[in-house]
């Protein structure tokens, strides 16, 4: 056998050995996880509710009974599974006792936490996420504010087939319309948790009852629906409170996570609706006689989308007045939001401590251990500068256009 032929045979053998996967697992033998709810049982044990979809027809078919949210013939409906244990690992082990398919978490879209669990502390669960080789860092972290958090799996999921997919889709669509919610991945929560001068937040969900009936049939009430709005504020690993949609919009501006939103600005006895297309913040910190001062400057770019009454926005002085009204309106809102974090939460969810650390590294060493207390007593000043752009927009208000044409 020639040397050249021997080399070729060796290459073929190596390629043959490299193909495939030594630990490959058939999808038909696995349960695909789409979302997981973490809660506490009445006895205080960790309770895990897992939303899975079987790739085979073993589960209930779409068009079936409880839990059916899928569509199309042959598609498997989600099957929430509930198990308990002293720890998450034990709960998952107990799940395996009567399941003939292995859980696969690589497709998980959302980690949902009950309020009761978050107030007790999510540290042990975070530790499990950090250690287990099958856990992922991409799922959303969400708190469900409801006395019965498991009801979330009975809610309508819009055009999505499963709850995890629904929450993931909201993160894409909602940010293009409003900035009144946060969509925090597991990785981002971990980063904020471990960052000096920054406290973490999670997304916030509440469940609303749908009082309308299906096709007028009172015997078939509609499913409850999900409101994804606001944020859940943490201090270390414990939940300390909530912010509503308006306060969360301010949070997104302060943390430079803002995209777009509409705001109705008071103008005399009327309102002017503006679209905030851009908004970013600049943070400067000071330390004077052991008093911390935080100076915030926000710049925003607006367009006028609607006016009420007969405000002539074609006049430059009117535009300047609208900008001034917006500046004062937003400044007041942001100051209230920060005061809430200072007085109610005593938690620096905005990350002002990161700026103090960067701008005053020596002083930071002395106060970093009790930064949240320092933050709660800090003097905050907010300055807002806005500019209205009207390229391609009509300048004469609709209610005044006829008067102009008549002239």
What is the C-alpha to C-alpha distance for residues 216 and 67, in angstroms, rounded to an integer? 22
What pLDDT was estimated at residue 28?
A: 60
- List the single range of 10-24, 43-57, 326-340, 382-396 with lowest mean pLDDT: 10-24
Confidence of residue 340 (pLDDT cuts 50, 70, 90): very high
More confident residue, 7 or 90: 90
What pLDDT was estimated at residue 118?
A: 96
Query: Does the pLDDT at position 29 exceed 60?
Result: yes
What pLDDT was estimated at residue 248?
A: 97
pLDDT 10s digits, 32-41: 888 999 999 9
Residue 160 Cα distances to 18, 73, 106, 140, 174, angstroms: 39, 16, 19, 16, 15
| Overall fold of domain 246-407 | GMP Synthetase; Chain A, domain 3 (3.30.300)
Query: Does the pLDDT at position 283 exceed 60?
Result: yes
DSSP 139: S
What is the C-alpha to C-alpha distance for residues 240 and 375, in angstroms, rounded to an integer? 15
pLDDT 10s digits, 384-404: 999 998 765 555 555 555 554
- List the single range of 55-69, 180-194, 340-354 with lowest mean pLDDT: 55-69
> Residue 381: phi, psi to the nearest 5?
-125, 135
pTM over 0.85: no
What pLDDT was estimated at residue 63?
A: 36
Structure-token pair, residue 407: 């002239």
Confidence of residue 57 (pLDDT cuts 50, 70, 90): very low
Q: How many CB atoms lie within 10 A of CB 390?
A: 13
β partners of residue 239: 234
What pLDDT was estimated at residue 164?
A: 92
What pLDDT was estimated at residue 2?
A: 62
Confidence of residue 132 (pLDDT cuts 50, 70, 90): confident
Q: Give the position of tokens 């979302």.
A: 35
Query: Does the pLDDT at position 55 exceed 60?
Result: no
What pLDDT was estimated at residue 309?
A: 60
Structure-token pair, residue 51: 């939303």
From the list 79, 118, 123, 85, the residue with the least C-alpha distance to 101 is: 79
Query: Does the pLDDT at position 256 exceed 90?
Result: yes
What pLDDT was estimated at residue 219?
A: 58
pLDDT 10s digits, 170-226: 988 887 788 999 999 999 999 999 999 999 999 999 999 887 655 555 556 688 999
What is the C-alpha to C-alpha distance for residues 130 and 133, in angstroms, rounded to an integer? 8
- List the single range of 34-38, 90-94, 110-114 with lowest mean pLDDT: 90-94
What pLDDT was estimated at residue 39?
A: 95
What pLDDT was estimated at residue 213?
A: 56
The chain-wide mean pLDDT, for the chain, equals 83
What pLDDT was estimated at residue 406?
A: 52
From the list 128, 139, 127, the residue with the least C-alpha distance to 33 is: 139
Domain limits, CATH 3.30.300.210, in the chain: 246-407
Query: Does the pLDDT at position 76 exceed 50?
Result: no
What pLDDT was estimated at residue 324?
A: 94
Query: Does the pLDDT at position 74 exceed 50?
Result: no
SS3 (DSSP) at 91:
helix
What pLDDT was estimated at residue 105?
A: 74
Q: What is the DSSP string of 353-371?
A: HHHHHHH-HHHHHHHGGGH
Query: Does the pLDDT at position 72 exceed 50?
Result: no
What pLDDT was estimated at residue 69?
A: 41
Confidence of residue 271 (pLDDT cuts 50, 70, 90): confident
> Please, are residues 39 and 114 in contact by the beta-carbon 8 Å criterion?
yes
β partners of residue 231: 203, 243
From the list 59, 68, 64, the residue with the least C-alpha distance to 31 is: 59
Given the DSSP bridges, would you call strands 225-235 and 291-307 parallel, antiparallel or unpaired?
Answer: unpaired
What pLDDT was estimated at residue 11?
A: 62
Query: Does the pLDDT at position 140 exceed 80?
Result: yes
């Amino acid at each position: 056998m020639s040397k050249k032929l021997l080399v070729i045979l060796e290459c073929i053998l190596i390629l043959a050995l490299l193909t495939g996967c030594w630990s490959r697992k058939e999808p038909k033998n696995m349960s695909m996880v789409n979302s997981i709810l973490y809660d506490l049982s009445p006895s205080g044990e960790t309770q895990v509710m897992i939303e899975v979809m079987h790739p085979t027809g073993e589960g209930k078919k779409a068009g079936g009974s409880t839990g059916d949210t899928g569509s199309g013939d042959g598609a498997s409906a989600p099957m929430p599974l509930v198990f308990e244990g002293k720890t998450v690992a034990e709960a998952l082990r107990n799940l395996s006792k009567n399941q003939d398919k292995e859980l696969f978490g690589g497709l998980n879209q959302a980690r949902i936490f009950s309020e009761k669990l978050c107030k007790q502390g999510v540290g042990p669960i975070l530790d499990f996420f950090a250690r287990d080789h099958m856990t992922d860092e991409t799922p959303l972290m969400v708190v469900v504010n409801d006395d019965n958090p498991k009801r979330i799996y009975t809610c309508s999921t819009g055009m999505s087939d499963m709850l995890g997919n629904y929450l993931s889709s909201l993160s894409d669509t909602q940010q293009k319309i409003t900035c009144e919610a946060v969509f925090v991945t597991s990785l981002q929560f971990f980063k904020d948790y471990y960052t000096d001068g920054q406290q973490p937040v999670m997304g916030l969900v509440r469940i609303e009852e749908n009082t309308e009936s299906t096709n007028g049939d009172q015997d078939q009430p509609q499913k409850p629906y999900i409101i994804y709005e606001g944020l859940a504020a943490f201090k270390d690993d414990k939940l300390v409170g909530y912010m509503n949609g308006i306060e969360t919009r301010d949070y997104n501006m302060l943390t430079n996570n803002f995209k777009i939103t509409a705001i109705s600005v008071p103008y005399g006895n009327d309102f002017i609706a503006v679209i905030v297309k851009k908004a970013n913040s600049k943070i400067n910190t000071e330390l004077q006689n052991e008093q911390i001062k935080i100076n915030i400057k926000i710049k925003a770019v607006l367009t006028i989308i609607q006016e009420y009454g007969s405000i002539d926005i074609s006049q430059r002085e009117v535009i300047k007045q609208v900008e001034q009204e917006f500046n004062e309106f937003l400044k007041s809102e942001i100051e209230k939001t920060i005061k809430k974090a200072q007085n109610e939460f005593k938690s620096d969810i905005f990350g002002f401590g990161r700026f103090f650390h960067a701008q005053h590294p020596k002083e930071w060493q002395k106060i970093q251990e009790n930064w949240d207390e320092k933050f709660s007593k800090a003097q905050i000043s907010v300055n807002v500068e806005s500019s209205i752009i009207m390229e391609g927009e009509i300048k004469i208000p609709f209610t005044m256009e006829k008067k102009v044409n008549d002239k």
